Amino acid sequence: MTDESSRLSTFLDEAYRAEERLTSGDLQRRAIAEDLPATLLTKIDALPEGEYLQDEAEEALRA
């Protein structure tokens, strides 16, 4: 697992800790607050609008 992949997994685990679904906007705000690297921010910014379960978000971000 690469450092970026590991960072993404950790970010998603923490973001979804108390939430079942998050919107793309929620994920963007959390990513900015966590000061994620630009490459990950770009991927998160590219998520289509909508709500995501954790596994859906992870699948979309790894594509």
Query: To which residue do tokens 């790894």 refer?
Result: 62
The pLDDT of residue 1 is: 62
- Condensed to tens digits (0 to 9), the pLDDT of residues 4-47 reads 899 999 999 999 999 999 999 999 999 999 999 999 999 999 99
pTM, two decimals, is 0.90
Whether 2 has a pLDDT exceeding 90, the answer reads no
Domain carrying residue 23: 3-62
The pLDDT of residue 56 is: 97
Whether 63 has a pLDDT exceeding 90, the answer reads no
Contacts 24+ apart (CB under 8 A), 7-14: 7/36, 7/37, 7/40, 8/40, 8/58, 8/61, 8/62, 9/58, 11/36, 11/40, 12/54, 12/57, 12/58, 12/61, 13/54
Number of structural domains the chain divides into? 1
